[in-house]
Amino acid sequence: MRLILALLLALAAAPVLAVQPDEMLADPALEARARAISALIRCPVCQGETIDDSGASIAHDLRVAVRERLTAGDTDTQVVDYLVSRYGEFILFKPRAAGANLILWFAGPAALILGLGGAALYLRRRAAVAAADAPLSDAEKKRLDDILAG
């Protein structure tokens, strides 16, 4: 039981250890900016982790590149644009709502609206069929007999 607990704790702490001390910047403000940018960038190898959480060598290279660009005086936007120009929009955890990505941004809400519309039509038709199959009331039977006797 202790072994399992130790393994779980080690796995939970593993992402924290991904950023190596030699990568960190001496300036706390620049390091905070680097961490904020790294939280937006997906590791190209791991795909489900940020570059700060990943232990892959490409994530290390990306962390170093972010810090080098910040040290060179780039703004946060310039650093992200640099990474996107080299690796594509795929590395952004939150893709930009522009160009071809607009299809992705609007596909979900459009599918939801179409689904709700389809469900509404189905329920309306189902209610109409149920009403048509309902037995006649006594007043309706009497009126039908009067019409047929006519």
| pTM score, whole prediction | 0.55
Evaluate whether 17 touches 60 at the Cβ level (below 8 Å): no
Evaluate whether 91 touches 83 at the Cβ level (below 8 Å): yes
Q: Domain boundary residue among 53, 71, 91?
A: 91
Evaluate whether 45 touches 18 at the Cβ level (below 8 Å): no
Could you read off the pLDDT of 20-47 as tens digits, one per residue? 666 666 677 888 888 888 888 888 888 7
Residues 78 and 110 in one domain: no
Number of domains in the chain: 2
What's the pLDDT score for residue 48? 83
Evaluate whether 40 touches 92 at the Cβ level (below 8 Å): yes
Rounded CA gap, 96 and 118, in Å? 30
Residues 43 and 85 in one domain: yes
The dihedrals phi and psi of 142, each to the nearest 5 degrees, come to -65, -45
Q: Domain boundary residue among 91, 120, 136?
A: 91
Predicted confidence (pLDDT) at residue 111 exceeds the cutoff of 90: yes
The range of the structural domain enclosing residue 54 comes to: 2-91
Residues 111 and 134 in one domain: yes
What's the pLDDT score for residue 74? 86
Predicted confidence (pLDDT) at residue 15 exceeds the cutoff of 60: no
Residues 110 and 136 in one domain: yes
Would residue 22 count as lying in a domain? yes
50: three-class secondary structure by DSSP: strand
Would residue 96 count as lying in a domain? no
Q: Domain boundary residue among 91, 125, 141?
A: 91
What's the pLDDT score for residue 7? 60
Could you read off the pLDDT of 40-86 as tens digits, one per residue? 888 888 878 888 888 888 888 888 899 899 888 888 889 999 998 89
What's the pLDDT score for residue 17? 47
Helical axes 57-71 vs 76-87, angle rounded to 10°: 140
